[in-house]
Amino acid sequence: MRRLTVILGVCVALGLAAFWLLSAPTQLPDADLAALDGHEPDLQNGENLFWVGGCASCHAAPDAEGDARAVLSGGLALESPYGVFGVPGISPDPETGIGGWSFADFANAMKRGVSPDGRHYYPSFPYASYAKMTLTDLADLWAYLQRMPVPENAAVIPETELAFPFNMRRGIGLWKRVYLNEAPVIADDVLGDDPVLARGRYLVEGAGHCGECHSPRNIGLAMDGSRWLAGAPNPEGEGRVPNITDHPDGLADWTEDDIAYGLESGFTPAFDSMGGSMASVVKNFANAAAEDRAAIAAYLKAIPPLPDG
C-alpha cells in the first residue's frame, strides 16, 4: 500500500509539473520584434485598424457617444454564459491604461494573449483573431493608440467573476496550445490570388474578429472553422448572432454593395436598421476605409455558404 501511495504521488507530481510547463504563457520571439526596429508608423493605417478592430466598442466608457468613444477609459461589464468580464482601459494613461507598456507588451497581448506581468488573458479579449494580424499593422495601431486622449477621471472597472472551471486562468495555456494559431480560416485555394479577397480575409479573420460572434463554438469553446460565420448563439444574452455567409439563411439576398453600405450606414437592403451589438460595429466601420468595407463584402460573398450553425 505504501509503495502504491508513493507511485500515485509521483504520478500526480509529474502530472502537475507537465500541466505547469505546458500551460506556461509564451511570448513572441525577440527576433520578430527586433525586425521592426526603425519602422516609421503609419498613423492613418493605425486609425483605420482602430475602427476595423472595434476597440471603442469594448474599451470606451459604456454608452459613450461621439468624441467620447475615443476616450478608452474602460468600464464595460461584458456579460457571458461563463460569468462577467470587466473590460480595462487602454488609453495612454500609465496608471489606468497602457501608457506604461512597451510595444513588445502590446504585441504579446494582441498575438499571444499574455499580459505584461506574464499572465494569460481570458479569450474574451479576442486575441485568437488578433493573432492573425501582422506586427507591422500592430506597430501602426500602437502608435495611433499612444495619441488618443487621456481620461480626465479613472473609470470603475467591474470585477471579472467567472464560474469554475473558467476561473482557472493557468489552464488557458493548454487552450492556446490547441486553438491559438495565425493560419487563415479560409484557405488560399478557396479565394484564389485575388488581392481584394485576401484583404477581406485579413480584416474579417484578424482585426475585425467577426468570427468571434458570428461563428459557433466547438467543444473547446473556440471558434468552429468548419461552420465559419454561420451564425451562433448570442454570447451576451438571448437570441442569435446572424449567419453572414452567402447562404439563404445568411446574406444570399445581399449584394456586395449591400454589405458594404450596411457596414457604413447600419441599414439592410430592406432599410431595416441593424440593432444590438451590431449598431456599435457600424459606428466603427463607418469610420473605416471604404475600400476595406468593400473587401470585407467581397470576402463574405466568396467564402463557402453554410446553413445556420
Residue 173 CA from chain centroid, whole number: 17
| Cα gap 288→264, rounded to integer Å | 8
pLDDT of residue 11: 67
Which ranges of 113-159 does DSSP label H, i.e. alpha helix? 127-130, 135-145
Which ranges of the chain does DSSP label H, i.e. alpha helix? 2-22, 30-34, 43-52, 55-59, 103-112, 127-130, 135-145, 172-179, 188-191, 195-202, 211-214, 256-265, 278-285, 290-302
How does pLDDT run along the chain (309 residues), one tens digit per residue?
Answer: 676 666 666 666 666 666 557 767 899 999 999 999 889 999 999 999 999 999 999 999 988 888 889 999 998 988 888 889 999 999 999 999 999 999 999 999 999 999 999 999 999 999 999 999 999 999 999 999 999 999 988 888 888 988 888 888 888 999 999 999 999 999 999 999 999 999 999 999 999 999 999 999 999 989 999 999 999 988 766 788 999 999 999 999 999 999 999 999 999 998 888 878 888 999 999 999 999 999 999 999 999 999 997
Domain limits of the chain?
Answer: 28-179, 188-302
| Cα gap 253→300, rounded to integer Å | 12
Q: What is the pTM of this model?
A: 0.92
pLDDT of residue 235: 74
Of 209, 98, 187, give the one whose Cα is nearest residue 143: 98
Helical (H) or strand (E) element with 241: strand 240-241
pLDDT of residue 294: 98
CB 168 within 8 Å of CB 175: no
**DSSP label of 84:** E
pLDDT of residue 152: 85
Q: What is the pLDDT of residues 173-183, one digit of tens each?
A: 999 999 999 99
The one-letter code for the residue type at 94 is P
pLDDT of residue 230: 97
